[in-house]
Amino acid sequence: MPTCVVENPQALKEFAGQEIAVTPWFELTGDRIRQFAAATEDRQWIHVDAVRARLESPYGGAIAHGFLTLSLTSYFIKQAVEIRHGVRFAINYGLNRVRFPAPVRANANIRARSGGRSARQARSGSGFPPRS
């Protein structure tokens, strides 16, 4: 069950400038990291070879791909927010700035803290912001 439930997208305006939700913990297993490595063809040893990573990496073990942690955003959004009415579907429009400031070790528990800086209504019709 999402930690924040609102009736419609307009209700999210109330949360501008504040935290909306904190998700439950999620274990990022070594198996999931290996599956992601196979799906993306990124089998760098620091992700998939736990023994070598424990011996040679500066992190003391295997770490998740930054893009794996980023891809979990969709999952975490569903855990954080439910919009009951007014949304037929949602797509990933894009990201303006992404950084991976710290590695996530295999089998670590992670969660998301979500909030909104601002809210504005998209152009009527497509649901997409206008092209510039």
pLDDT digits (tens, 9 = 90+) for 33-59: 999 999 999 999 999 999 999 999 999
pLDDT tens, 94-109? 888 999 999 999 999 9
Is the CB of residue 110 less than 8 Å from the CB of residue 32? no
The answer on pLDDT for 130 being more than 60 is no
- CATH number at 44 reads 3.10.129.10
Task: Determine, yes or no, domain membership for 25.
Answer: yes
- Confidence class of residue 129 from pLDDT cuts 50, 70 and 90? low
Position 61 scores a pLDDT of 97
Provide the 8-state DSSP code for 16: B
Position 123 scores a pLDDT of 62
The structure's pTM equals 0.81
- Confidence class of residue 122 from pLDDT cuts 50, 70 and 90? low
Q: Which helix (H) or strand (E) holds 109?
A: strand 108-110
Structural domains of the chain, count: 1
Query: What is the domain range of residue 20?
Result: 4-88+104-116
Task: Determine, yes or no, domain membership for 122.
Answer: no
Task: Determine, yes or no, domain membership for 121.
Answer: no
Cα(17)–Cα(63) distance, integer angstroms? 32
Task: Determine, yes or no, domain membership for 97.
Answer: no
Position 126 scores a pLDDT of 46
